[in-house]
Structure 1
C-alpha cells in the first residue's frame, strides 16, 4: 500500500513539472518576438525624407509635398556650337569637362567657299568705292547739264547693286565671326575659326581632326553652371498645395544625405493627358560645384 502511494506521488510530480515547462516556453518566445517587433518599429518609424530634411528645415513632414526630378541649367546658359558653314576640321581644341571662356578658339576648318566669300567681299568693296565715285561725278555733271539723265541713272543703279552685294557678303562674314575691318587690314584668312559663344564647360564632343562637318552639324555643347534649376514632376492633384516662392528642400542622387535649398519660380500651365502630370521649376539657392545637369533629385516643397 505504501509503495502504491509513492508511485502516485511521483506521477503527479512529473505531470506538474511537464505542465510548468510547457507554460514557460511561450513566455520566452513571446519575449523574443516582442524584441524583434520593437527593433523593426524603431528602424522604419522615421521615413528617409522626414528625418533629415525636417531636422534641417525645422518643418514637419505633414507641411510638405514630395516630388522627383532632375537638375538642369536655363536655356540661355546652355549653348550648342552649330556649324554655319561645312568643312573639314583642320584643328580642334576640345576636351569634355574643360572650362572655356567666351571667344576661346575651339576648332578651325577648311572650306574653299569660305575663301571665295572673303574674295567676293573684297572685290565688291573695291568696286563699290569706284562706282560711288562715278555716280557722284555723274551727279555733278547732270547738275551742270553736261551728262545725260540716262547715264546718271545707270551709274546710280550700278553703284547700289554693287553696294548690296558687298553688304550681303559682309553680313555672311559677320555670321561666321569674321570682322570685315580685320579682313580689309590683314587680307584673306585661309581657315575658318570657330570660337566659344559663352563661358562654360565643354560637353558632348563628337569631332576629330580630318572629319567633315556639314552646315548645321553641332561641333560641341557648352554648359554654363552659374545658375542651376530643379525640374520637378508634379501632378494636378498637388496644385492646391504648391505656390510660387515656396521653399524647396532637395537631395541629389550620389551626394549622400546633404540637403540643399531652392525657391519655386515657375509652375507649368499644361497637364500631360496621359500621366496627368506637369512640370515645376525651382531656382537653386545653395549651389554646389558637384552639380551636373541631368542629376536625379528628390525634393520636398513646403505647403502654405
Structure 2
C-alpha cells in the first residue's frame, strides 16, 4: 500500500505534463491555422481591391483585344508569280527590315532584265545618232525628215527603257545594279518591316501567284487596344481619355493606355462601336488577339 501512495504523485505529474504538451501542440496548430487564414484574407482583399478598381460607377467598362496598327502589320506579297526555291524564316521568328526571307524563280523575271539591258544598249546608240542628226540638221547638211525619225526612235527607246526600269524597281531590283553585275537568276523577297513572322503560307517548291501573301510580319513594339463600347457610353468617351486594362492571360497586372480614336459607325444590331487606345507601357508578353478587360474613367 505504501508503494501505491508513493507512485501516485509521479503518475499525476506525468498526466499534467502530457496535458501541457497536448495544449502546446494545439496552440501551435491553432497559430498555424490563424496564419493561413490571415494570408488567404489578405489575398482575397488584394483581389477585391483590383476588382474595385476595374468596376466602379465612375468608370466605363469595356472588353476588347490587343492589336497592332496597320503600319506595324505587313503582308509579304510578290508582284510577280514564281516558284519558291528557298525560305529563310520560321514561324514566330523575328526578322529585320530588308533581310532576305525567300527566293523566287520565274523565267519572266529573267526576260524582264534582258529587255532592260537591251533597251539600255539600243538607247545609247540611238542617242548618239539623234545628236548627230540634230547637229547635221542645224547645219542644214541633212534632211529634216531624217532628223525627226532619229528623234522619234530615240524617245521611243528611252520610254521603253524607263518602263523596264520601273518594273524592276517594283520588284525591288535596282536597274543600275543589273547594268553593272548582269542578270540575276532569282528574285529576292525581303521583309518590308521588322517584326515576328506569322501566318506562314509557303513551302519549298510551291508556286506563288502574283499578289499572294507568303507570310505576315507583326511588329509588337507599339501595341494598341481595340475595345468595344456601347452607344449609351459615348458621352463618357473622348480622345485622350486614360485607360486602365489588364490582359486576361497575364493575371492581375495593370497596364495603362490612352484613347486615340473612336469609331464613327455604330453596329445596328449590337449598338456598339470600336474604341482604339495606344498602350503606354507595352509588354513583351503582349500578343495580337489577346483578350483584355479595360476601364475608362468617365469624363
TM-score bracket for the superposition, by shorter chain length: 0.7 to 0.9
Q: 1:205: how far off? A: 0.8
SS where residue 254 of structure 1 aligns? helix
Task: Determine the C-alpha separation between the residues in 2 that align with 1:189 and 1:286.
Answer: 45
Task: Determine the C-alpha separation between the residues in 1 that align with 2:188 and 2:236.
Answer: 52
- Partner residue in 2 for 1:117: 112
Cα displacement string for residues 55-96 of structure 1 (whole angstroms, at most 9, x for unaligned residues): 6xxx98121010110000000111101111101100001211
Query: Given the two structures, how large is their TM-score scaled by the length of structure 2?
Result: 0.83
Task: Determine the C-alpha separation between the residues in 1 that align with 2:235 and 2:70.
Answer: 28
- Partner residue in 2 for 1:129: 124
Q: 1:242: how far off? A: 1.6
Q: 1:51: how far off? A: 2.5
- 1:25-44 mapped onto 2 (5 Å cutoff): none
Task: Determine the C-alpha separation between the residues in 2 that align with 1:165 and 1:208.
Answer: 36
Query: Given the two structures, how large is their TM-score scaled by the length of structure 1?
Result: 0.81
SS where residue 120 of structure 1 aligns? helix
Task: Determine the C-alpha separation between the residues in 1 that align with 2:96 and 2:128.
Answer: 44
- 1:148-159 mapped onto 2 (5 Å cutoff): 148-159=143-154
- Partner residue in 2 for 1:278: 273
Task: Determine the C-alpha separation between the residues in 2 that align with 1:107 and 1:185.
Answer: 24
Candidates 48, 51, 71, aligned match of 2:49: 51
- Partner residue in 1 for 2:182: 187
Over aligned residue pairs, what C-alpha RMSD do you find? 1.8
- Partner residue in 2 for 1:20: none
| Residues 1:221 and 2:219 are matched in the alignment | no
- Partner residue in 2 for 1:247: 242
Candidates 161, 180, 196, aligned match of 1:201: 196
Count of residues in correspondence between the two structures:
257
Q: Where does the alignment leave 5 or more consecutive residues of structure 1 unmatched?
A: 1-41
Task: Determine the C-alpha separation between the residues in 2 that align with 1:184 and 1:128.
Answer: 13
| Residues 1:301 and 2:296 are matched in the alignment | yes
- Partner residue in 1 for 2:259: 264
Candidates 153, 157, 161, aligned match of 1:162: 157
Q: Does the CA contact (< 8 Å) of 1:53 and 1:259 recur in 2?
A: no
Structure 1: which 4+ aligned runs deviate by more than 3 Å? Answer: 45-48
Q: 1:273: how far off? A: 1.4
Q: Where does the alignment leave 5 or more consecutive residues of structure 2 unmatched?
A: 1-40
Q: Does the CA contact (< 8 Å) of 1:67 and 1:299 recur in 2?
A: yes
- Partner residue in 1 for 2:17: none
1:256 to 1:147, Cα distance in 2 relative to 1, 3 A: same
Task: Determine the C-alpha separation between the residues in 1 that align with 2:93 and 2:229.
Answer: 35
Q: 1:97: how far off? A: 1.1
Q: Does the CA contact (< 8 Å) of 2:222 and 2:279 recur in 1?
A: yes
Cα displacement string for residues 94-132 of structure 1 (whole angstroms, at most 9, x for unaligned residues): 211111111100100110000000000000001111101
| Residues 1:178 and 2:173 are matched in the alignment | yes
